[in-house]
Structure 1
């Protein structure tokens, strides 16, 4: 049973892109809705459709560490550090305004002069710009010989370390940190680092941590210590100084000054780096093997300071890293009892939820098939009533399970979904559910925010959480199957209440039930994503009568031909092609070629995937590409044409095929280039408004109204001359009697539908 990987919008805040806001349903708005399905952590269901990511979405599949972990951090005060290096950018304070931080002497110095220039800097924050060096300057300042010189100076100075920065030891530490950072990012300019630097940095760190005052629990020592701890990780000496980590964790208490707490936080970076499989072996795992008391001190740090846990604290962030023990073959035996104890010691929800659920993630994902040992086999069932405390029934076919929604929010959401259901059927014009589809009801799950979604949804429903939600259809032919859309509130839009992607996802549920035979895998037999995601976008925006700005912008780029979009899959496309261009393709086809859409859906509903593919690639092929390009040009100028009516007028009955009536249509209207299709109708006295619309077919038909005279391009009272065949004219207070209108073939056209209505 296949689970489709989440798409592009990792693409989110940290990378500069958002999933469009309009995927969310505002309270009280008539909004399209969501999809859902079956599935547990061990048996994921088919038809799992990922949705555009929320701005808070994590890049990996682990739960977020804290409620703020997925969000941008506040801008740091100058001098600014490279934001790409989180460990570099964190925990710096601004340089005092009166300090003169001229680094020209440092950049031009070497040997003992370099050391003196560093020590002469008036404040440790003066070293910050060193992290930004590139090119020749980077190579000059941070070549290995320079680093060895400063490391040796740190070793000498550490022998008399006074527990504060009066001897400018902090400047030496920061120079070394900057060097490792710059070399890692500019190795070609700086050159390689080898045994001489490793020997020197070990001597420096050995001397610093041997200095008695390096263990002072003071703000002054902490200011230097926290950077020296980070230097362990910068130099990849995590294993050699695992004892320093143990010492900090074993000694920590809630009354430590802020700078010392920061040192403990940075010890967490040493732990994290020690388990980083992308690095060369830092010896950290071997150190934990050799001294099991490091792990027990680590677990004791958590239990001793559990009262501090609030989800975003140092105890939680370092405690959840204990999961790495069961994720590492060599440490699994010693890690299992520690992780099991913490999972079962603390509640799964509330302040301790981030710790327990992250440890559960390690146990489930990296120590598989051992849930009986950890006591977590029934966790999906246990968590539902603990987390989703709201259980609301909209009607017999629709239920909402939520973490926190008010009565008004529930009522508005129910109204939105029910109204969208009717809208969908008017657009699609289906004849009922696909025979054998038993998904008669939908469960909408709404977590309070992305943070809680990431924390719980992965195990409760067996889904990936690096996305903006997930629709699970399950097996629609199975009795008792539960279709389910798992979502979260858009907390970044508060106080406005919105369920992220609700509009889009409810369309998936309806599309799967009324248009796409079988389960999700069946529908993926051939490329159908242009339709699956495009119709979800189209219904979402048109239902709420909202302008899709992102798609209109894309139209002007002319990136894809229509025939290319028919080939879209989740694997070969990014979010822009899937969502923006899917919308454009579906809108164009519904407006310009509704008969082709009807034929396509007939095949989809029958599960004739090969026949549908032939229709798209052979019967249609490239013949609409030129017209689609013209339509895109007009759409980019905010003239995307009129959306087709949600109900079709009946066929006209007059024997003369040119004659229309009060509310009727004629299909398959045609004319060759330069010629006309002439039409007329007889209006009674008192008509206040006459509306003439055209849509569908190929070519380019322009609409002209002549009043009581025949209409031509040289003689008319009103005209509509959009690209393609989507034209509308509304005539106010037209005269009684016969009135005339024409379709002029700017380019030969055929298959056009013409509709007249008056009141």
Structure 2
């Protein structure tokens, strides 16, 4: 997944209803980050949704409603299996699916049903609607926002929450969750369009306090059930949406104190407890919240007690509850009036946990906070040079795959390293045959890639943020940086998919690597430039296409979407990280790219010509005007066939390199190959070619066959293991060397048999 720029404007907003958490790769330079609030963590294999919080720069005077349906991505490309923001915000668990509304639910929900009603009629409409329906109202805009959420409407709904809470039965039968969610939607929509919706004042503040007071006073609001948890979790978030963080400290303390193992059977109840950390995380932006804690610091005791009393949760599916308690306790280090008290508590918890092992999530969470808010006191905490210490302790494996690829890992065997390297190296040739590029785009110096592999998704989410300053609510992230900057090191950060063990797999390995190749050979400049117009359909769709087609894996999720006919091709050209959910970004991006490559290759070549020169406006004109809607009918026909299993044949583009024809079988040439090469272990196959004056780049590729051949190159004489200009080594026979501005004259290439090999080809192009 690529990571997109963070949006300071969203730093403090009432949370939107849901969040999708299956992202694809992201690329961006590591950044200084205020440790996020609660962290979203997948419970199982590919994470699903995580109703998370987390933000970047905060404007204390204006708290934007955090949209849970999108969080900044950047070409830090996230991978399509999970995603979350990285600001050590409290982490949320992604257990039960709470995905964006289904197309069917959305179609059955009309905004006019709400905008045309007032008073008791509005209340009845809300109660009669599904929560999925109410979820769609977070996206209401313009005059509909005014009609649905002006202050008088919100007061009516808040009063209905108050009046109904006394008889609240602990479930949704009386429409309480819909009322709470409607109020959350109102705060969200009003934040982003206050001039249209109107201001919220004393009348609503009085009404919302009455509604929340009554709900939390209800005896059934403490029931430990899914039925109650659905409403309770939203109500705790509503505290923050309404900026009533100071008033409801007692609710936060009660939830922390009441938690026990019975909560673990209910995702909603766990969500309710975790939402406590949302309220504390964002409460720091409200002076009255800080003052309330100063007056009654027992909230600090509640957070410390939860962390210390529930160390047993660390290493389990509920680990995030304990680590988030520590994070949010340590976040109070930013408040000078509370710092001395908090230092003592944090130091004690650090002493009871360790940098590695089962208690690491809590230790790292605490350490991140001290590093950000109290770095000058790092010696007392034992957290000085945090990122470097963690990197040294957690990522001891360093393995060179080739001259352009290095793997940094937490734990990988020799066979696992060899297999991963082979997969990456052999993807190079496949990518170039699809892309039909002429080498790197101008001013791109990202000639090497660092692949960081954590041992599991848990390790990734524990350590990657602290070491690399990234979001970890995803299936991996590509950090491109500035490709024109000297010394820039692109890397992607991933993890082993522990849920497929004993099979070994680095999750999204080929998707992430495609982002690196795409950024280097197809997309001019850095990621900010590349998304100056909507390009996400290509960026994420192409990464998905290459990953699935290269591995010869059927993308069942995308083919299933094809049958829904949800989007026209023209609509998909407008996809951004902000206006699309994960299904549209990845499943539909894949479908659009596959269709265009199979059916309109000439248009793709023209498009890539614009992308490679940074002519984003010309690319946009091609997509929106030249192509426009002209293919939409054919697209619909193709989708129908694809849904039935006939998407057309996805074949590996053939290697069309001709055999070299020189009489000397050792001589190579321009755009030709020598095949069937073989040697016994320790021996060499020697080759050479002549390069003309003015050659910009010489590319040398070895591939195919059996055994293990390493590729060596010399500009001055026969290349050997002890005398060479450049080399590409590692298991297997797939190696590539790129020589910039080679001198005119003879150049020497050899294959060295690290193990006996046979049937290998070497090709040269310039």
For the aligned pair, the TM-score class normalised by the smaller chain equals: 0.5 to 0.7
Structure 1 residues 72 and 620 mapped into 2: Cα distance closer, same or farther (>3 Å)?
closer
Q: Is the 8 A contact 2:3 2:28 kept in 1?
A: no
Corresponding residue for 1:51?
Answer: 78
Q: Distance in 2 between matches of 1:242 and 1:649?
A: 66
- Other-structure match for 1:635: 642
Q: Does 1:487 align with 2:487?
A: no
Q: In the alignment, what sits opposite 2:395? A: 388
The worse-fitting range, judged by mean Cα deviation, of 235-244 and 474-483 is 235-244
Aligned residue for 1:399, secondary structure, equals: strand
Instruction: Provide the C-alpha distance between the structure 2 equivalents of 1:284 and 1:453, rounded to a whole number of angstroms.
Output: 33
Q: Tell me which residue corresponds to 1:208.
A: none
Q: Which secondary structure state, in structure 2, belongs to the residue aligned with residue 395 of structure 1?
A: coil
Structure 1's unaligned 5+ residue stretches are 8-13, 24-33, 74-138, 148-174, 205-226, 250-256, 652-759
Residue 595 to residue 339, structure 1, CA distance change in 2 (3 Å): same
* C-alpha RMSD over aligned residues: 5.6
Report if the CA contact (8 A) 2:410-2:455 is conserved: yes
Compute the displacement of 1:371 (Å): 7.0
Between the aligned partners of 1:180 and 1:269, the Cα distance in structure 2 is 25
Q: Is the 8 A contact 1:41 1:458 kept in 2?
A: no
Aligned to 2:417: 410
Unaligned runs of 5+ in 2: 8-16, 35-55, 57-71, 98-158, 183-206, 220-228, 240-244, 659-766
Alignment counterpart, residue 349 of structure 1, candidates 356, 371, 382: 356
Give runs of aligned pairs for residues 495-506 of structure 1, distance below 5 A.
Answer: 495-506=502-513
**Alpha-carbon distance in structure 2 between the residues aligned to 1:586 and 1:514:** 17
Q: Mapping of 1:265-344 within 5 angstroms?
A: 275=280, 289-290=294-295, 295=300, 318-326=325-333, 331-332=338-339, 334-339=341-346, 342-343=349-350
Q: Shift of the alpha carbon at 1:464?
A: 1.4
Q: Does 1:39 align with 2:65?
A: no
Alignment of 1:464 with 2:471, yes or no, is yes
Q: Displacement, 1:392?
A: 1.7
Query: Superposed, which structure 2 residues align to 1:252-651 within 5 Å?
Result: 275=280, 289-290=294-295, 295=300, 318-326=325-333, 331-332=338-339, 334-339=341-346, 342-343=349-350, 346-363=353-370, 376=383, 378-643=385-650, 646-647=653-654
CA distance in 2, matches of 1:538, 1:414: 20
Show the 5 A alignment for 1:665-684. none
Note the alpha carbon deviations across 1:93-151, whole angstroms, 9 max, x for none: xxxxxxxxxxxxxxxxxxxxxxxxxxxxxxxxxxxxxxxxxxxxxx99x978978xxxx
Per-residue CA deviations over 1:311-359 (Å, capped at 9, x if unaligned) read: 7679767545422533667644532453356447743222332222222
**Contact 2:33-2:87 at 8 Å conserved across structures:** no
Match of 2:132 in 1: none
Q: 1:534 to 1:363 in 2, by over 3 A?
A: same
Larger radius of gyration: 1
Contact 1:36 1:444 in 2 (8 A): no
Q: Give the deviation of 1:459 after TM superposition.
A: 2.3
**1:472 Cα deviation after fit:** 0.7
Describe the SS at the equivalent of 1:573: coil
Q: Is the CA contact 1:535–1:586 (under 8 Å) kept in the aligned structure 2?
A: yes
Q: Measure, in 1, the Cα distance between the counterparts of 2:491 and 2:509.
A: 12
Measured after TM superposition, the shift of residue 274 of structure 1 is 7.8
1:674-728 Cα offsets, whole Å, 9 max, x none, are: xxxxxxxxxxxxxxxxxxxxxxxxxxxxxxxxxxxxxxxxxxxxxxxxxxxxxxx
Partner Cα separation in structure 1 for residue 307 and residue 412 of structure 2:
33
Give TM-score scaled by structure 1 length.
0.54
C-alpha deviations, 1:592-619, integer Å up to 9, x for none? Answer: 2222222222222122222222322333
Counterpart Cα distance in 2 of 1:627 and 1:465: 39
Q: How many pairs are equivalent?
A: 504
- Specify whether residues 49 and 201 from structure 1 end up closer, same or farther in structure 2 by C-alpha distance, changes over 3 A only: closer
Q: Which has the higher contact order (CA 8 A, sep 6+)?
A: 1
Residues 683-722 of structure 1 correspond to what in structure 2 (within 5 A)?
none
CA distance in 1, matches of 2:385, 2:467: 10
1:528 and 1:201 map into 2 onto residues whose CA distance is: 46
C-alpha spacing 1:610/1:282, structure 2 compared with 1 (3 Å): closer
**2:450 aligned counterpart, secondary structure:** strand
